[in-house]
Amino acid sequence: MLSSMARARLNRVGATLFERGWLSSNNILITGSNGPTALIDSGYCTHADQTVDLVEAGLEGRRLELLLNTHLHSDHCGGNAALQQNHPGVHTLIPSGLAEAVRQWDTEALSYADTGQECPRFAFDGVLRPGDSLRLGDWTWDIHGAKGHDPHAIVLFQPDNGVLISADALWQNGFGVVFPELEGLSAFEEVGQTLDCIEDLSPAVILPGHGSAFDDVQLALERARGRLQRFVEFPEQHLRHAHKVLIKFKLLERKSVTFQDLLQWIQQTPYVAKAAPSEAPASERWLEELIRDLERSRAVERRGEMIFDL
């Protein structure tokens, strides 16, 4: 639970956290009397109507002027198109590294093809660059690079009030899958550098991409570094974790699926297919093991050929 001081800091910067389930990232609405009203991250596309409703309620009649994305994974920008349609004239800003991919709508460069996820096409008006600052509500926020989970990700920090919007760089109990590692690119060191950056900023309260806001920042950093060290020492653990995350995400989206349909989806999804054996009996055994792991953690339920999200 947040301390009263942490809640006061969030009130001062005009930040409202819409905490979502794990299919959609959290959305953060920032309002004020002297600067633009802004939404940071927009959730997954199947939750777009709910995102629009949450934002409308939070705006209380104000106009949404800015839409920002901390990074362009589908669970953070899947509601962009719906918000642009419902708020004509909203100015959309994305991390600079994928601007050309969005302009060309390259679903491979944007990871949607590789993860087997969806994202309706959206437009953008400008870019977010590490080292720059921008006005959100009544305060100026600094943009910092946050490589690791995504090579183009950014975080936003309001230094006067010590408020950090950390996206998937740091949660209360970890951080997001290190996707470059799934492509054979070394990125664990970058995760550590981002954690160091967050510690140097010394935030008083963090609004993460998933989960509740928190102010026990040092404890969260210790947990994240412990998790990172395990992945560095045993990279196969990270790989297996990533595959379970992608399967769980698909179950969150679909609610239920047959074993064979899930196997077919895996064979068509590059980030998972690269690890699955190509021969049918072996690939089925591989998937069976992952499903059993997810069952043990009570993330899914298996009933015969049907697999259900929990």
Amino acid identity at 63: R
What distances in angstroms separate CA 128 from CA 49, 144, 150, 205, 265, one per listed residue? Answer: 26, 9, 15, 22, 34
Dist CA 209 CA 27 (whole Å): 8
Residue ending a domain, choose from 233, 265, 285: 233
Instruction: Give residue 129's pLDDT.
Output: 98
CA 18 to chain centre: 14
> pLDDT grade, residue 75 (50/70/90)?
very high
- Comparing CA positions, the residue from 127, 133, 197 lying closest to residue 160 is 133
pTM (2 decimals)? Answer: 0.96
Assign 82 a pLDDT band (cuts: 50, 70, 90): very high
The pLDDT > 70 percentage for the chain reads: 100
Domain range enclosing 274: 242-309
Q: Output the pLDDT for position 215.
A: 98
| 69 and 36 within one domain | yes
Question: Given 216, 233, 250, which residue is the final one in a domain?
Answer: 233
* 108 shares its domain with 90: yes
Q: What is the DSSP string of 70-104?
A: S---HHHHTTHHHHHHHSTTPEEEEEGGGHHHHHH
Whether 288 and 164 share a structural domain: no
pLDDT in tens, 203-245: 999 999 999 999 999 999 999 999 999 999 999 999 999 999 9
Residues 187 and 250 in one domain: no
Q: Are residues 262 and 121 in the same domain?
A: no
Same domain? 247 vs 229:
no
Q: What is the CATH number of the domain that holds 299?
A: 1.10.10
CA atoms within 13 Å, Cβ hemisphere of 67: 30
DSSP H or E stretch at residue 134 = strand 133-136
As for how many domains the chain has, the answer is 2
- Predicted pLDDT at 125: 98
| 204 and 283, same domain (yes or no) | no
What whole-number distance in Å separates Cα of residue 201 and Cα of residue 278?
46
Task: Tell me which H or E stretch contains 128.
Answer: strand 126-128
pLDDT tens digits, 191-204: 999 999 999 999 99
Looking at the structure, tell me whether residues 186 and 90 fall in a common domain.
yes
Are residues 52 and 133 both part of a single domain?
yes
CB-based contacts of 54, cutoff 8 Å, min separation 6: 18, 27
Check residue 277 and give its pLDDT: 86
Average pLDDT over residues 29-49: 97
Per residue in 41-70, pLDDT (tens digit) is: 999 999 999 999 999 999 999 999 999 999
Q: Give yes or no: residues 117 and 259 share one domain.
A: no
As a whole number, mean pLDDT of residues 27-36 equals: 96
CATH of the domain at 122: 3.60.15.10
Final residue in a domain of this structure, among 233, 250, 265: 233
Mean pLDDT (the chain) is 97
pLDDT at 1: 83
**Residues 150 and 34 both lie in one domain:** yes
Helices 217-233 and 235-254: crossing angle in degrees, nearest 10, is 110
Residues 223 and 75 both lie in one domain: yes
pLDDT above 90 (res 278): no
User: pLDDT at position 303, please?
Assistant: 95
Residue range 12-27: mean pLDDT, rounded: 97
